[in-house]
Structure 1
Amino acid sequence: MNITLWIIAIVLAVAFGAAGFMKATTPKAKLAENMDWVEDFSERTVKLIGVVEILGAIGLVMPAALDIAPVLTPLAASGLALTMVLAAATHARRKEFSMIGVNVVLGGLALFVAIMRFGSQSF
């Protein structure tokens, strides 16, 4: 189970890291071409969401890998799960129901990592 959790955490870290980097570095107008939801938020908020995703991605792997405050790993996973709940709420409000599936999958995996790393598979 430990290996499975590591694989899920690494996959999530890559996904959230890449998405976060894109949001943090790309101008809002360019993001709006493929992400309609950015129109509901300021440029600064979109950048903040990107930074949160990057920090969450780092927090999924680095604390446990370096054995420095490994409790941060399930906390990061919890934060990313909450981020996906908020993302799903935004998509639901905008009636972008096809996008909610991605939020459910990523959020569910993050929640799974959080539960397992707080519980029986903690460091």
Structure 2
Amino acid sequence: MNVAYWIVAGLLAAFYLYGGAVKAVRSRDALRPMMAWVDSTPMPAVRAIGVVEVLGAAGLVLPPLTGVAPWLAPAAAAGFVVLQIGATGVHLRLGDRQVALNLTLLATAAVTVWLAAARP
């Protein structure tokens, strides 16, 4: 179970660390080719989502690694479940039916919640 957690959480953390950092530092024009939704979202909100993603990635890795506040790992994973539910809704509201990545991330985050809660 521990190895499975580190594999799944590590991949999820890497994805969100990269995606969050990109949202936090790139301009709207640089984000637009990858994320059409940035046109309908204020940039401070895009930046905030990026910072939340980076912090969530740290929450998946640092607490179990250090043993300090290990309850933060399942909380971070649950936060990513909520984030992807909202992201899927935004895509669908904007008429974008390409939500396979969002649903994959949602399922991966849900598995991570389960694995984190089952860790010794």
Identity across the alignment (%) = 33
Q: How does 1:1-123 map to 2 (within 5 A)?
A: 1-98=1-98, 100-118=99-117, 121-123=118-120
> Where does the alignment leave 5 or more consecutive residues of structure 1 unmatched?
none
Deviations 1:18-62 (A, max 9, x none): 000000010122211331100111010000010010011000011
| SS of match in other structure, 1:20 | helix
SS in structure 2 of the partner of residue 95 of structure 1: coil
- The ranges of structure 1 where at least 4 consecutive aligned residues each deviate by more than 4 angstroms after the TM superposition are none
**Quick check: 2:2–2:119 contact (8 Å CA) kept in 1?**
no
TM-score, normalising length: structure 2? 0.95
In structure 1, what residue type is equivalent to 2:112?
A: V
| Unaligned segments of structure 2, at least 5 residues | none
How far does the alpha carbon of each residue in 1:56-99 deviate from its partner, in whole angstroms, 9 at most, with x for none?
1000011000100000000000001110111000001111111x
TM-score by length of 1: 0.93
The CA RMSD over aligned residues, in Å, is: 1.0
